[in-house]
Amino acid sequence: MGVMRLFPTFEPVETVLASLADALDAIDVGIVLLNHDLHVQFINRRFAEIWAGPPELLVKDTSFRMLLEYTATNVQFSVPAAELPAYLNNREAAVRASAVSATEIDLRDGRRLLFRSSPCSGGRILTYNDITTLKRNQEMLHEVRETAERTMVEQRFSAEMLEGQAAYLASLAETADENARQAAVANQRLEHEIAERRQLEVELRRLATTDALTGTLNRAQFLLLAGHGFERARQHDQAMAVLMLDIDYFKRINDSYGHFIGDEMLKHFVALLRGGMRNGDLLGRLGGEEFAVVLPETDSQAGFMVAERLRARVAATPLIHGDHSIGITVSIGLATAGVDDRTIEQTLARADAMLYAAKANGRNQVHPAAATSAARQ
The pLDDT of residue 305 is above 80: yes
Mean pLDDT, residues 168-190: 66
pLDDT value at 347 more than 90 = yes
pLDDT tens digits, one per residue of 98-133 = 778 888 888 888 888 888 888 888 788 989 898 888
Res. 2: pLDDT tops 60 = no
pLDDT in tens, 29-69: 989 888 888 888 888 888 878 877 666 666 667 888 888 88
The per-residue pLDDT for 196 is: 59
Per-residue confidence (pLDDT) for residue 43, from 0 to 100: 86
Is 289 annotated as catalytic? yes
300 CB burial (10 A radius; 0-12, 13-18, 19+):
buried
- Residue 193 confidence (pLDDT): 63
Read off the pLDDT of each residue in 226-230 and give the average, rounded to a whole number: 96
Q: Which residue has the higher pLDDT, 349 or 30?
A: 349
Least confident of 137-141, 211-215, 227-231: 137-141
Which of these is catalytic: 178, 289, 308, 345? 289
Average pLDDT score, the chain: 84
Question: What CATH number has the domain spanning 13-130?
Answer: 3.30.450.20
Q: Which of 76-85, 89-98, 126-135, 266-275 has the highest mean pLDDT?
A: 266-275
pLDDT at 301 over 90: yes
Mean pLDDT of the region 334-347: 94
Residues 239-267 have a mean pLDDT of 96
* Confidence check: pLDDT of 173 > 70: no
- Checking if the pLDDT of 150 tops 80, the result is yes
**Domain 219-376, CATH:** 3.30.70.270
**Mean pLDDT, rounded, for 67-80:** 79
Evaluate if residue 19 carries a pLDDT over 60.
Answer: yes
Compare 343 and 74 and report the one with higher pLDDT: 343
370 or 310: whose pLDDT is higher? 310
pLDDT at 348 over 90: yes
Cα–Cα distance measured from residue 46 to residue 24, given in angstroms and rounded to the nearest whole number: 9
Of 217 and 194, the structure prediction assigns the larger pLDDT to 217
Kindly list the distances between the CA atom of residue 168 and the CA atoms of 48, 77, 216, in Å, as whole numbers in the listed order: 71, 62, 51
> Residue range 277-303: average pLDDT?
96
pLDDT of residue 282: 97
